[in-house]
């Protein structure tokens, strides 16, 4: 009986060429697994294509709700943003995909998992760290790093390889952006983006959005309610998280929200440039942060921001299934107990404008915050506070003056 390999299958040219390549070079029975994180019509025709190329079976696993509830929302609640801009769309999806690959490998009694990530990117790390954490006994096949066996270096090479194996597919060698899409975002790399001095060709690039210049000259109102840090309704309609994100993608995309052009530092040591469209995610994170401003005390908010930055790096580096991620997430979860209320926003030509926030757990006290004197605040108390708060500065200044006088 042949050994089985589970192939992370997207239906694109790379993973399509991998099916005959795995059979030819390793004599594996190839079982394809496509994990649906919200790729939309990219899933059309996959089963026929996989079987045509020689796969014995194709699994299409729908994990959209799991992705939203167990991966996206912890990152939203943590305020996890990598290098101030990237909302981790690809990074969050890889661990749930790899987890599902492991589950299928166990179900099929496979001995290996294969992925098509390149040797220069972050995804190879994210896939493989998850597999190592969940199934350390499984072999991992990464063809793009196996240069002694994997001889293909271009799309044309892959097309010719498929043709030589009797596989004629609807792919051509014309270049296009390298894209990754799920419910949270779509990323774009390649072409003019490889030169940081060039502006992105947004007219040809954008999929979910329009640029702010092409957004309508009118405001779009958004009202979101949260319970314990989780969105539960949008514009008065109760929805699950995945439905809220999908609708926010539509509203945000129409209004030019969430388009980011970033040069980021990859885990493998190089800088890369990409454009990310995250319209719904950008709105959701802004609404959540808007609510937290009212509810969390200063010290908790400060600590949460520090840990949120670390959480983003952990996720970016593919370390989802680690004790540190679990520990930080546990802290964040404890801060969300009272993040309940309503956030109102206005979308306008790429901007998200606050339009009011309410919560039964708000720490904002009008009596304290008002310029008029309230019952809870005595202006005279500030004198003693400033004296003690500024004491280290005063002592240091006195000491420096003393030293200066001695030197005269």
Residue 173 in this model has a pLDDT that exceeds 70: no
- Reading the block at residue 181, the tokens are 């899409």
Q: Note the pLDDT of residue 371.
A: 62
CATH level 3 topology of 178-295+340-358: 3.90.1260
Beta strands in 68-127 (DSSP E): 112-114
What confidence category does residue 406 fall into, taking pLDDT thresholds of 50, 70 and 90?
confident
Q: What is the residue extent of each domain of the chain?
A: 4-76+88-164, 178-295+340-358
Question: Does pTM top 0.85 for this prediction?
Answer: yes
Helix (H) or strand (E) holding 181: strand 178-181
Strands 29-36 and 4-8, bridge-based pairing: parallel
Query: What percentage of the chain carries pLDDT values higher than 90?
Result: 83
Interval 266-295: pLDDT, tens: 999 999 999 999 999 999 999 999 999 999
Backbone dihedral region for residue 153 (phi beyond 0: left; psi -120 to 50: alpha; all else: beta): alpha
Active site residues: 14, 94, 123, 178
Strands 112-114 and 139-141, bridge-based pairing: parallel
Q: Note the pLDDT of residue 55.
A: 95
Mean pLDDT of the chain: 94
Q: What is the mean pLDDT of residues 299-325?
A: 98
Interval 192-205: pLDDT, tens: 999 999 999 999 99
The CA angle 111-181-212, to the nearest 5 degrees, is 165
Q: What is the mean pLDDT of residues 147-168?
A: 88
What confidence category does residue 372 fall into, taking pLDDT thresholds of 50, 70 and 90?
low
Least-confidence region, from 48-57, 126-135, 345-354: 48-57
Interval 38-70: pLDDT, tens: 998 888 888 888 988 999 999 999 999 999 999
What end-to-end distance do the CA atoms of the chain give, in Å? Answer: 93
What DSSP string runs through 182-202? -SS-EEEESGGGGSTTSPP-H
Domain 4-76+88-164 sits in CATH at 3.40.50.620
Residue 175 in this model has a pLDDT that exceeds 70: no
Asked if 53 and 167 touch (Cβ cutoff 8 Å), the reply is yes
What confidence category does residue 174 fall into, taking pLDDT thresholds of 50, 70 and 90?
low
Asked if 249 and 217 touch (Cβ cutoff 8 Å), the reply is no
Query: What percentage of the chain carries pLDDT values higher than 70?
Result: 97
Q: Name the residue among 44, 90, 43 with its Cα closest to residue 67.
A: 90
CA–chain centroid gap for 318, Å, is 11
What confidence category does residue 11 fall into, taking pLDDT thresholds of 50, 70 and 90?
confident
Residue 15 in this model has a pLDDT that exceeds 80: yes
């Amino acid at each position: 009986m042949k050994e089985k390999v589970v192939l992370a299958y997207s239906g694109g040219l790379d993973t399509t060429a991998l099916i005959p390549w795995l059979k030819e070079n390793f004599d594996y029975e190839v079982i394809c697994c496509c994990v649906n994180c919200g790729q939309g019509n990219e899933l059309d025709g996959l089963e026929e294509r996989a079987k045509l190329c020689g796969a014995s079976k194709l699994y299409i696993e729908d994990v959209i709700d799991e992705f939203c509830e167990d991966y996206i929302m912890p990152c939203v609640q943590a305020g996890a943003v990598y290098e101030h801009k990237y909302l981790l769309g690809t990074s969050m999806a890889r661990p749930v995909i790899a987890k599902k690959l492991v589950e299928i490998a166990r179900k099929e009694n496979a001995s290996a998992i294969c992925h098509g990530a390149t040797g220069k990117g972050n995804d190879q790390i994210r896939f493989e760290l998850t597999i190592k954490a969940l199934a350390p006994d499984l072999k991992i096949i990464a063809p793009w790093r196996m240069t002694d066996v994997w001889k293909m270096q271009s799309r044309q090479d892959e097309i010719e390889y498929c043709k030589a194996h009797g596989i004629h597919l609807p792919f051509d060698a014309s270049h296009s952006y390298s894209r990754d899409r799920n419910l949270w975002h779509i990323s774009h790399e390649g072409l003019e983006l490889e030169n940081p001095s060039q502006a992105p060709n947004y007219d040809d690039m954008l999929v979910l959005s329009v640029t702010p210049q092409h957004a309508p000259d009118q405001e779009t109102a958004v009202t979101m309610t949260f319970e314990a840090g989780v969105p539960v309704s949008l514009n008065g309609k109760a929805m699950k998280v995945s439905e809220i994100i999908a609708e926010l993608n539509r509203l945000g995309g129409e209004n030019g929200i969430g388009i980011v052009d970033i040069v980021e530092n990859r885990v493998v040591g190089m800088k890369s440039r990409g454009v990310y469209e995250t319209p719904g995610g950008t709105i959701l994170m802004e609404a959540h942060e808007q609510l937290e401003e009212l509810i969390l005390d200063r010290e908790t908010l400060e600590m949460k921001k520090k840990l949120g930055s670390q959480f983003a790096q952990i996720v970016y580096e593919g370390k989802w299934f680690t004790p540190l991620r679990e520990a930080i997430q546990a802290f964040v979860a404890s801060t969300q107990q009272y993040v309940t209320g309503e956030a109102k926003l206005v979308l306008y030509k790429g901007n998200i404008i606050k339009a009011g926030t309410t919560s039964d757990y708000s720490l904002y006290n009008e009596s304290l915050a008002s310029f008029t004197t309230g019952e809870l605040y005595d202006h005279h108390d500030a004198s003693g506070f400033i004296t003690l708060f500024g004491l280290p500065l005063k002592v240091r200044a006195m000491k420096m003056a003393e030293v200066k006088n001695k030197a005269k």
